[in-house]
Structures are given as C-alpha cells and as structure tokens.
Chains A and B, each alone.
Chain A
Amino acid sequence: MASFELICPAGTPAALRAAVDAGADSVYCGFRDETNARNFPGLNFSPTEMAEGVAYAHRRGRSLFVAINTYPAASNPAPWHRAVDQAAEFGADAVILADLGLLDYAARRHPRLRLHLSVQASAANADAVALYRDVFGVRRVVLPRVLTVQDIARLTAETGVETEVFVFGGLCPMAEGRCSLSSYATGQSPNRQGVCSPASHVRYEQRGDVMASRLGDFTINLFEEGEPAGYPTLCKGRFVTNDRSSYLFEEPTSLNAVALLPELKAAGVRALKIEGRQRGKAYIAATVAAYRQALDGFDRTGRAEVPMLAGMTEGQRGTTGAYTRTWR
C-alpha cells in the first residue's frame, strides 16, 4: 500500500480532470455557492458538474470528496442540507464538514455517508477529535495548520482517526475557521460567506512605482517594482508595529512540506492535501504531478525528493510552516 493518499483541489471540472489525470488519489470540490470555503466568482461545481465529476473520478478508480465546510446561516440551513443530500445522492466518497449542527444533520440523515472533519473546524487536539469521532462517526480529520509533527503524531495515535494534513499551497498562519480578520476589513466572512479577502473588496493601486494592495478601506501591502507578491489576504500583509514595518503574521510564502514525508509517515498521517481550489488548472496539473512523483519516489526509496515548484508559490518561496516548532 502507498504510504499516503494524495488529496488534490479542483475549482472547475477542467481542474478536476487535470488533477485526476496528473495522479491524484482523491479530489476535493465544492458546490457553486456559499456552502464551501472557496466561494470565489466563477469557481466551483453545479450539481450536474459534481455528479459528472464523481463519475469521472470513479471511472479511473479515484475518489471525490465534497467540501461543505462553511457554517450554515442562521434561519437558512437549506443550501447546506441540500449540498450534503446531493453529495450523498451523487455517490461522493466523503463530505468534508466543519459545523457541529451540519455534522449532526449528515450523521442522522445519511448514516452511510463518510464524514471528514474540515480544517475549518480547527480540531487541534485529541479531545476535540475524539468528540467528532464518537458523536458523529467522523472517519478522518483534516488537521489545522497550527500543529507540529509531534502534536500530529500524538493526536493520530491517541484517537485512531485517520489524519489528513496540508503539504502544499496557501498557508493560514491563524487557526482556520476561527478567523475574523477578513470580515473585520470587508464585512464578508470566511465562515459565513466562504471567502477570505474577497476579490470584490480587493483593489490594486499604482502609486508611482509602488503597487498598493488594499482590502476594504485598509492598505495591506506596498510592493516595489518587481518585488514578489502574495495573496491579498490580511495575514500575508505588511504592517507597522513599534515604528517598524514587517510581515507581522506571515511572509507571502507557500507551504511545502515534502521534505517532511518521512516524519509525517512516522507520525501515522494517512493523507496529504494540496491547497488551491482557487488556482488555475495549470497549477493543479503541475503540483499534483510533482507530488505524485515525489510520493512514488518516496515509496520506492524512502527518501523525499523536493520537487521544483517555486514558480507556483506566493512570494516565490516555501516554508514547512507550523510543522516545525521554530515557526512559532
């Protein structure tokens, strides 16, 4: 058996085909509405496309997971319930959920549907994971990007729940699903509307040679000509503390934990996840192929060869993030 299952993002049917064709074991997608955390304009799947996506993946022996990982709106749970019902109906291999109420709904209504806990639930310790396991029958947990490899190993061993961790792509320095930074600046919330730093509130202003990126009414970065940029998310912005400007929260950088494959395997991690449902299919094809190769190589030799993916990363650099303790 392969050491890890490779979980890849898709924001469009074309990206889904690219991911499957490049060697993804499983692809995760969302419906085209606020029920998932990448509710970006022009992105995601209609019900018909989702059903076709499941069929495409299954014909090739791969899996498809449906992310329904925002928090249902008060007095309007219908879109979230419908998303869970449709995922079950289409034969999705799992739904990725975050909300306690929605997990309760899914567990009662679709007892045979496999439940994964979204990173947006921010289950960061074994007690939390055990709750989701015992009460809702959650089979796998996507761990928040704030844990060290050591934390992950302990949690996996103690709970016996499959763990899935991010290995590549955008990096939230904050505990996911518990962050209102974007809504403080824009009024749109990742938890509620499924979008962080919504494009509708992002503006790039040219100020002479300097490009300013603005989120809502706030300047979150200034770039000199040719200086590598990142996403216009608050946590990758440059701010002033004690009269000094810095990337206070996180540099524009992407996670790349391929060098940690041996440690992650020893920690008992079951699945590795690539971030980026908002990215183009060219990104999907390149990163999935690189990771497929790295994982196959790792299974053969036990060594992790680091693929060259710098061109795909924010700020043109990678980090192993919270997996190593010095990040803190």
Chain B
Amino acid sequence: MPTPRSDDTMANAPDGRTLETAVTALALRVADAVGPRLRDPVLDRLAGVFVRRHPRAAEAVSSLPQATVLIDAVDLPWGLLLRVGPEGLRLRLCEVATTTADATVRGRFAALLDLAEGRIDGDALFFRRDLTIAGDTALVVALRNALDGEEIDVLAEMDAVAGPLGRLGPMARRHAARVAEALGGLQGALLAPVVGRVGALEKRLARMETRMKAGER
C-alpha cells in the first residue's frame, strides 16, 4: 500500500468535530490495513448501503456518465476513488500519486468529510482556497449537489454496513465482520464524552490492524 505522507488529521479537525473526523480517518486506516481482498467487499457494501439510504442521490450519481472522481485528502496517506455512472457507485482506496481520475477534489480530510455530510458549503471552502478542483468541474459540481441534497452521516452509513454482511461468504464474513466491528464500534465510542478517549481508540485500532494483518496471512 502507499506510503503515508503525513497523518496530522487530528490536529486539523475543526472544533467540535475532532472525534468524528479522527474516527473516520482511523476507520480508513483499518480498511487500508486489511488489504483489498477484505476491504473491497466492505466498501461495496458501504456503497450499497448508501444507495439504499439515499435513493435521490443514487439516482443522480447513476445518471452521470461513467467517470471517476479522486477524493484526495491531503492529510491522509491514501485517496478515495469514486466511480459514478450507470453502473452505480463504487468506492476504492487508492494511492493518489499513481491514480488517474476524470476529476480530483483535494482538501483536508476534515473539510472533505464535512462537505460529504453537507455540514459545510463547498463554494465557501473553494472561496477560501481550502478546496481545489481539477479535471471535470461539472462532474464535481454534480456529485457535490447530489450529496448536498441528502442528510448524510458517514459514521451511521458505516454502522449500517454491519447488517448486509450476512450475504458474504463465510471466510470473507469473518474478516469483514472485524472491519465492520471496527467501523461500527466507533459510532458507540463517539458517545464517550472525553476527547482523550481518541488516544485509547487509536491504540485499540492499532492492535486490531496488527491482528488483521496477521489474519490475512
């Protein structure tokens, strides 16, 4: 997997959203650690959950011409590649430097997460130069508008992935269940009021990463 560039997500999360941002970033780290064989089915489930929960956005996304959008969080070691179009939404983790896409959206992870959840106005981010766009601008605008029309809670979406795991094969299910546990369990952890809990969470996740890597071999 790609080499990390920097990992200062925590320091740059906006006030009040530190925990959510950190937890989502950590979930992505777990997803990275388990490797594509286990990760991709879970990401597919996540896309499936999104489509079920947000039919309006899903329809908008599938009405776009087939295209890819690279979400480049400058403070995370990897990017997220979104495929949109008639074949539906697909999510993949990717190495930014070696990925080509029809459009790229670049910014800090916290800002991108806020954008995905409609907590912040994309134009305002752009005016402040906290967001850069390259490639097919219309694609980015269409995607942004589709997402902004929804009430999206990234952690809740991840939590909902746990449900459909039953349809995976037994081996994959065991591994995927661990990823889902990591993803979904985090939602509960958020309820803990103490910001200091993030440190403990991070340790827990680090242990899980090691375990999963071992499991993969």
Contacts and interface: CB of A to CB of B under 8 A. Distances in A.
A185 interface: no
Contact of A204 (B64, B132, B144): B132
A203 B135 CA distance: 7
A15 B148 contact: yes
Contacts of A231: 123
Contact of A229 (B64, B119, B129): B129
Contact of A282 (B56, B60, B118, B133): B118
Interface string B137-180: 11111111110111100000000000000000000000000000
Interface stretch (A61-69, A95-103, A295-303, A313-321): A313-321
A307 interface: no
B121 A41 contact: no
B118 A14 contact: yes
Contact of B141 (A40, A228, A312, A315): A40
B134 interface: yes
Chain B CB count within 10 A is highest, among A11, A211, A229, A230, for A229
Nearest to B115: A280
Contacts of B145: 11-12, 40-43, 278
A282 B119 contact: yes
A246 interface: no
Interface residues of B, number: 34
A204 B129 contact: no
Nearest to B135: A203
B124 interface: yes
B127 A314 contact: yes
B134 A204 contact: yes
B128 interface: yes
A252 B140 CA distance: 21
Interface string A32-62: 0000000011110000000000000000000
Interface string A10-26: 01111100000000000
A283 B137 contact: no
A200 B146 CA distance: 16
A230 B150 contact: no
Is the interface on chain A under 10, 10 to 19, 20 to 34, or 35 or more residues? 35 or more
A311 interface: yes
A60 to B, nearest CB: 18
A284 to B, nearest CB: 8
What secondary structure prevails in chain B residues at the interface with A?
helix
Nearest to A214: B137
Contacts, number: 101
Contact of A311 (B124, B142, B151): B124
Nearest to A283: B121
B128 A316 contact: yes
Interface in A192-236: 198-200, 202-206, 211, 223, 225-232
Interface string B101-121: 000000000000011001111
B118 A42 contact: no
B149 A13 contact: yes
A312 B121 contact: yes
Contact of A280 (B118, B127, B135, B142): B118
A283 B123 contact: yes
Contacts of A205: 134
A133 interface: no
B79 interface: no
B148 A228 contact: no
A292 interface: no
A102 B64 CA distance: 31
A116 interface: no
A42 B146 contact: yes
B126 A14 contact: no
A81 interface: no
A116 to B, nearest CB: 25
B122 interface: yes
Given A13-B149, A14-B118, A199 B129 contact: no
B134 A315 contact: no
B138 A41 contact: yes
Contacts of A206: 132, 134
B80 to A, nearest CB: 19
7 contacts: A41-B145, A231-B123, A282-B118, A282-B119, A282-B121, A283-B124, A311-B124
8 pairs of A and B residues whose beta carbons are closest in the complex: A42-B145, A12-B149, A41-B142, A283-B121, A280-B121, A199-B138, A42-B142, A200-B138
Given A279-B123, A280-B124, A314-B127, 18 more contacts: A14-B148, A41-B141, A41-B142, A199-B137, A199-B142, A229-B127, A278-B123, A280-B118, A280-B120, A280-B144, A280-B148, A282-B114, A282-B121, A286-B121, A311-B124, A312-B121, A313-B124, A313-B127
